[in-house]
């Protein structure tokens, strides 16, 4: 087979091709135009090679993939607005065709005639999980670092590469909507319980388990391409659906106040898609994704929450000649709920925190608030008890301002009173 910039391919004695995604000079794999071109060529090559009986797709990095490079999504906005100035009538159609490229590639994998298994070794987000959903088998590592999500709604768009249609055909509609409209992350075990992955195995067994699925005769056909397929729960014409669908838009409106058109588009994609043959449903999703990309909300959210945040993280607003700060110790003055919460997220980020209030009792109360936040995260499976204990160990409550002498940064979070704030700042600066 050919050599590729972003992928390595090894075919074993059983005819199973191991495709390893490992982008050079990148800390995380992301979808780019080049990646999609190479992946398309790999599909063609494995189909044409009679020696290849199946494909295992995995990552060569500690994470699987963060999904699409949102700079690529931003370029779609630019493309649309450029085309709109030339010919408004054709601009939307050209954007629609552009949007369909990733969807078409994943459908090509799904219908290529040879089994593909996704071996998820770490964080698997957005388009990367949509690719995995298009594979005929999915095996995830049991490592705690594995997080699976379709978080696009958080940046103003939605899973537009088949995600709304495949998730809603693998798990019940309510769980599918909850996952996609909130962008929540799933553990490997939770994803398996939702029928989104087939197996969860120890990290060192991941590739062998994925290959074994192919050896065991994995069918290269998606469930929805089988005759007689029915969505979990029976689709939208059931008593349960009659309770879910009338309420879903109202609940979404209550939670979002109508400010997230992409979340509403998810509801439309799932509701309409479940009534249609799969390929037609993909076109419905493609249509709504095109509509969302034309919205001012999506453009503003991607620009502000992702593109601009990345630039800020690289120091775009740093004054010339100002060296980068290396924070290790942060002081938080004010141990009320806000101050305690700031102390908590700072400790979660790995920094030592001194939490100060007017007396030891008030400071200790702030630490107790942090303990409650840790307990909530542990109970929800977001961290282990050991990780929680390490976070709390980084938070030191006290009333002694001398403890701030080694702090690189001090955050004031006291009561909204000018005199109180003035007194606190004077003590910090003393």
SS3 content of the chain, % helix, strand, coil (to 5): 55, 15, 35
Which residues neighbour 390 within 8 Å (Cβ) at sequence distance 6 or greater?
A: none
10 assigned to active site: no
Contact assessment for residue 399 and residue 357, using Cβ atoms and an 8 Å cutoff: yes
- Detail the DSSP E strand segments found in 105-193: 116-120, 124-125, 137-141, 148-149
Tokens of 34: 């080049």
Tokens of 219: 């069918």
Q: Where are the alpha helices (DSSP H) in 274-402?
A: 278-293, 296-302, 308-313, 337-348, 360-379, 385-393
Which residues neighbour 364 within 8 Å (Cβ) at sequence distance 6 or greater?
A: 397
Cα–Cα dist 250/347, whole Å: 38
Q: What is the DSSP letter of 21?
A: E
110, 152, 285, 291: the catalytic one is 152
130, 199, 285, 291: the catalytic one is 130
Which residues neighbour 6 within 8 Å (Cβ) at sequence distance 6 or greater?
A: 21, 22, 23, 24, 29, 34, 35, 38
Contact assessment for residue 184 and residue 178, using Cβ atoms and an 8 Å cutoff: yes
272 assigned to active site: no
**Looking at the annotation, which residues are catalytic?**
130, 152
């Amino acid at each position: 087979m050919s050599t590729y910039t972003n992928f390595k391919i090894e075919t074993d004695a059983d005819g199973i091709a191991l495709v390893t995604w490992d982008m050079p000079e990148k800390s995380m794999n992301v979808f780019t135009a080049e990646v999609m071109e190479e992946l398309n060529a790999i599909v063609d090559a494995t189909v044409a090679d009679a020696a290849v009986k199946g494909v295992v797709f995995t990552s060569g990095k500690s994470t699987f993939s963060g999904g699409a490079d949102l700079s690529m999504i931003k370029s779609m906005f630019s493309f649309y607005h450029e085309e709109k100035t030339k010919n408004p009538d054709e601009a939307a159609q050209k954007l629609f065709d552009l949007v369909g490229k990733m969807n078409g590639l994943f459908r090509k994998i799904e219908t290529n005639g040879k089994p593909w298994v996704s071996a998820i070794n770490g964080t698997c987000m957005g388009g990367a999980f949509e690719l995995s959903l298009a594979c005929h088998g999915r095996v995830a590592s049991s490592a705690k670092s594995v997080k699976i999500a379709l978080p696009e709604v958080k940046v103003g768009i939605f899973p537009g590469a088949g995600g709304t249609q495949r998730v809603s055909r693998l798990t019940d509609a309510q769980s599918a909507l909850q996952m996609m409209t909130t962008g929540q992350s799933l553990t490997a075990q939770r994803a398996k319980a939702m029928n989104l992955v087939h197996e969860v195995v120890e990290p060192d067994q991941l590739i062998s388990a994925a290959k074994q699925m192919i050896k065991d005769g994995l069918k290269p056909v998606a469930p929805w391409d089988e005759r007689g397929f029915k969505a979990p729960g029976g689709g939208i014409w059931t008593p349960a659906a009659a309770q879910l669908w009338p309420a879903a838009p109202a609940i979404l409106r209550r939670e979002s106040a109508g400010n997230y058109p992409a979340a509403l588009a998810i509801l439309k994609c799932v509701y309409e898609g479940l009534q249609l043959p799969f390929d037609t449903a993909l076109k419905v999703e493609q249509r709504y994704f095109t509509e969302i990309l034309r919205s001012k909300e999506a453009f503003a959210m991607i620009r502000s929450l992702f593109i601009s945040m990345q630039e800020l993280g690289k120091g775009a607003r740093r004054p010339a000649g100002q060296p980068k700060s290396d924070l290790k110790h942060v002081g938080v003055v004010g141990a009320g709920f806000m101050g305690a919460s700031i102390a908590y997220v700072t400790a979660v980020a790995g920094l030592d925190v001194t939490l100060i209030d007017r007396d030891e009792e008030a400071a200790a109360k702030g630490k107790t608030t942090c303990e409650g936040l840790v307990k909530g995260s542990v109970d929800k499976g977001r961290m282990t008890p050991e990780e929680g204990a390490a976070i709390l160990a980084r938070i030191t409550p006290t009333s002694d301002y001398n403890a701030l002498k080694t702090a690189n940064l001090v955050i004031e979070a006291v009561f909204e009173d000018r005199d109180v704030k003035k007194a606190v700042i004077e003590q910090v600066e003393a």
